[in-house]
Structure 1
C-alpha cells in the first residue's frame, strides 16, 4: 500500500463530504422509512432473506451522485449499483441502508454507511442513524466521534463484562456459529444481534458493545466502521485480505481486552479466505 504523501488527495474535504452526505441520505431514508408500507420490495437472487427496496436504490444513486460531483476522480463501490474504478487512490464504499430487513419491518436498527479507502486502507468513515440522531464519524489520525463526542472502546477484560454483537447470514461460515455461541455462553458472555453490521461496529467503537463477530460480512457494511474502531482504540482482523473488498470475509472487531479471547473462541476460520 502507498503511504499518504504531500500529493495526497484533499482528505479533510472528503471527510466533511462523507459526514454531510451520510446525514442527508439518512434524512431522506427516514422519510422512506416513515412511509415504508408503500415501498416496492424485491429479493436478491431469489433469497427471501436478502431484501432490497426502492429506497435502497434511490439513496445509493443520491450518494453516488454527490460523491462523484465533488470528486469525479474517485472510485465507487456500492451494495446496489456495483463498482467503478476500483483502482482509484480514493475508493468510496457505500451501503445506502444497512439493516434493510429492520428498515422494512419497522425496527430502528438501520443506518447509512459511507466509508472511503485510501490506497486500499480504511481511512474515512461516516455512519448516520437518523432514528437516534447519531452520526458516527472518523478519519485516520483524527479520532472518531458520535456527533461531537469522542469515541473510545470498552476497557473490559472479559466477555462476561458486557455484550458481544454477533451475526450470521450467508451460508459460508454458518456451521461455526452455534459452536461459537456455545463457548461464549459457557464463558458467561451475552450476545446481541440488531440487524445492522455498520451500527454494531459503531457501537464497538463507542464502547457500547465489547466486540462484534460476523461469520461473513461484506465490505460496504464495515469499511466505515473499521475506521471508527481503529481510531477508538479497538482491534480488528484482516478483513480486506484476499478478495474481501468484493466478496467479504469473516469479521471481528473488539476492544483490546477481549479481542484475543473472542478470536480463540472463533478459531482458524477467521483467517480463511
Structure 2
C-alpha cells in the first residue's frame, strides 16, 4: 500500500469520527456557543472541536504532514503533503437544523488535490476519491451526469458577501435566460459532491475558500467531471471562483459565469 493509499483509508475513518462528533453537537445545537466571523458567517464550538479531532488523528498517523483548516489555520507550513479541512461546511444550515452540511477533507500534494472525502453524517453519505482511482459514494462508483444542454440542467450556486450582490444576480439572470435551473444549498462541498454523483450538473461560486472545495474538486475530477484552475492566482491562500460541471456543459457555463463577469467582480 503506497503513502496516498494509506492516507486515503485512514482519512475515511477519521472523517466518520468527526462526523459523529458533529452530529452529537447538531442534535443539541441550541446549547452551542456561536460566534460571528463576518456577514452571514458563523462559527461554533462544534466546528473547532471537529477540526481538532481531525488534525489530532492525522498528526498521530502522519506527523510530517501539514494542515490548513478553516478554524485553526496553517500548521507545519511547507510540508510536502497538506490536509485541507472544513470541519463543518454549511455551518449556518447546521445551526438552523437544516441537514445540508458535511465534513470535508482534502489532501494537496505537488499542486494537486489527490484525496477528497466528504461526509454528511445525517444521511450517512460518504463520498471518497483518490487520484487516478475513481470516485465513490458509500463504496459504489459514481459519475457525473451526461447532461449536455442548459435547458436540461440544474446547477448548484453559491454566494458570499465577499462578492458584489449585483454580479451574483446578473449571473443568475444569465442562467435563467438560458433556461437553466439552479439550487442554492448553503454548502459548497455538498454542491460539488452532488455534481460528482449526478444529482446536480454543475456547481459555481464566484468566490470560495480552498477548504470548501479541496475535497470536492478531487471527487468531481475522479467522477469524470471538469473543473477550473482553482489554485491559479493564489487560490490556496486567497480563495477563487470555482466552476465544476459535466464535460459537455463546461465551456458554455464558463462563458456564462466566468467570461461574462464584470472585471470589478472577479476574485
Residue 251 of structure 1: CA displacement? 0.8
* Superposition deviation, residue 86 in structure 1: 3.1
Distance across 1 between alignment mates of 2:104 and 2:262: 24
**Contact in 1 for aligned 2:81/2:108 (Cα 8 Å):** yes
1:62 is aligned, of 34, 53, 58, to 53
What SS does structure 1 have at the residue aligned with 2:99?
A: coil
Structure-2 separation of matches of 1:219 and 1:179: 24
Q: In structure 2, what is the Cα distance between the partners aligned to 1:181 and 1:167?
A: 11
Query: Partners in 2 of 1:219 and 1:177 — Cα distance?
Result: 20
In structure 1, the gaps of 5 or more residues are: 1-7
Q: Give the corresponding residue for 2:7.
A: 14
Alignment of 1:236 with 2:194, yes or no, is no
1-structure distance, mates of 2:140, 2:246: 18
Q: How does 1:241-256 map onto structure 2 within 5 Å?
A: 241-256=232-247
Report the equivalent of 2:89: 98
Aligned to 1:257: 248
* CA deviation after TM superposition for structure 1 residue 270, in Å: 9.9
Spell out, residue by residue over 1:142-194, the C-alpha distance to the aligned partner (whole angstroms, 9 max, x if none). 11000111110010001221310001113235442111111111111110011
Whole-Å separation in 2 of the counterparts to 1:78 and 1:264: 32
Per the alignment, residue 3 of structure 1 pairs with none
How far did residue 85 of structure 1 move? 2.7
Runs of 4+ in 1 over 6 A off after TM superposition: none
Structure 2 residue aligned with 1:43, among 36, 54, 76?
Answer: 36
The answer on 1:77 being equivalent to 2:68 is: yes
Matched residues in 2 for 1:100 and 1:35: separation? 14
Q: Structure 2: 5+ residue runs without aligned partners? A: none
Tell me which moved more, 73-82 or 117-126. Answer: 117-126
Q: Separation in 2 of the partners of 1:227 and 1:202? A: 10
Q: Distance between the aligned counterparts of 1:52 and 1:244, measured in 2?
A: 22
- Alpha-carbon contact 2:167-2:262 (below 8 Å) kept: no
Deviations 1:211-254 (A, max 9, x none): 00001010000100111000011011110112211210011000
Output the CA distance in 2 between the equivalents of 1:108 and 1:35. 14
Partner Cα separation in structure 2 for residue 57 and residue 81 of structure 1: 8
Q: Equivalents in 2 of 1:270, 1:236: separation in Å? A: 21
Per mean C-alpha deviation after superposition, the further-off stretch among 123-132 and 167-176 is 167-176
Q: Could you state the TM-score of these two structures normalised by the residue count of structure 2?
A: 0.95
Q: Shift in Å at residue 267 of structure 1?
A: 3.3
Tell whether the 8 Å contact from 1:152 to 1:232 is kept in structure 2 after alignment. Answer: yes
Aligned to 1:149: 140
The answer to whether 1:179 aligns with 2:182 is no
The answer on 1:28 being equivalent to 2:21 is yes
Take 2:62 and 2:75, find their aligned partners in 1: how far apart are those partners? Answer: 13
Separation in 1 of the partners of 2:16 and 2:216? 16
Question: In the alignment, which of 116, 140, 160 is matched to residue 131 of structure 2?
Answer: 140
Which of 114, 117, 140 matches 1:126?
117
Q: Aligned partners of 2:262 and 2:134: how far apart in 1?
A: 27
8 Å CA contact 1:77, 1:93 repeated in 2: yes
The structure 2 residue matched to 1:53, chosen from 44, 53, 58, is 44
| Cα drift, residue 87 of structure 1 | 2.0
The whole-number CA distance in structure 2 between the counterparts of 1:48 and 1:265 is 27
